[in-house]
Amino acid sequence: MKKVVSAKLHGIRVTGADLNYHGSITLDPEVCEQAGILPMEFVEIWNKDSGARISTYVIYGEPGSRCCVLNGAAARTCQKGDTVIICASEYIDTAQLYDVRPTVLTFTPDNEIDEIMYYEVRKSAARDFDFQVVREGRAQGAERTLRSVDVDALAQDLRARGLDDRAIADLLSCHLSQFQ
């Protein structure tokens, strides 16, 4: 059995931390339902601001509230406004990997769903397990307009993610041509 991602909330902001509550993470049930995260399901939480990593269970808050509240001991791992990644997982046999299609939601700073994606593994000519991200679209519209782009910082981040200078130049010229 392998532990794999079954759902992910990527970049959701913490809206509160309640040290005196008896534990868990409180999430908007509408968001959870769209991702496929159930109440009482254990999730891993990775704080992008502090680097803290914890595991706790989900409880549902008020529908439509866009809440993300860490409770009990988990409240010590974050502050209101921190950006976190919440990942649910499941155990499967390796052969089932082709059948798993986890939903990944990204978020705006106001915790509105920004983009819906899916992870897929397919067999390719090059390898038995080839990974791809399938983008369904943006919940907030097909396009986003950027007011300013720090091209040097963007290039540095892409380089850190393994792209070479030629690939970075191609990517930037293709997608940022309207800023020239």
Binding residues for substrate: 56, 72-74
The letter for the amino acid at 84 is V
Would you call 98 a catalytic residue per the annotation? no
By C-alpha distance, which of 105, 57, 58 is closest to 85? 105
Residue positions in the annotated binding site? 56, 72-74
Cβ within 8 Å of residue 124, ≥6 positions away: 130
DSSP 139: T
Would you call 21 a catalytic residue per the annotation? no
- 140, burial (CB in 10 Å: exposed 0-12, middle 13-18, buried 19+): middle
Residue pair 119/5 in contact (Cβ under 8 Å)? The answer is yes
R_g of the chain computed on alpha carbons: 18
Enumerate the β-bridge partners of residue 16: 69
Token pair 């759902």: residue: 7
Catalytic residue among 6, 50, 57, 119: 57
Catalytic residue among 6, 21, 24, 55: 24
Residues annotated as catalytic are: 24, 57
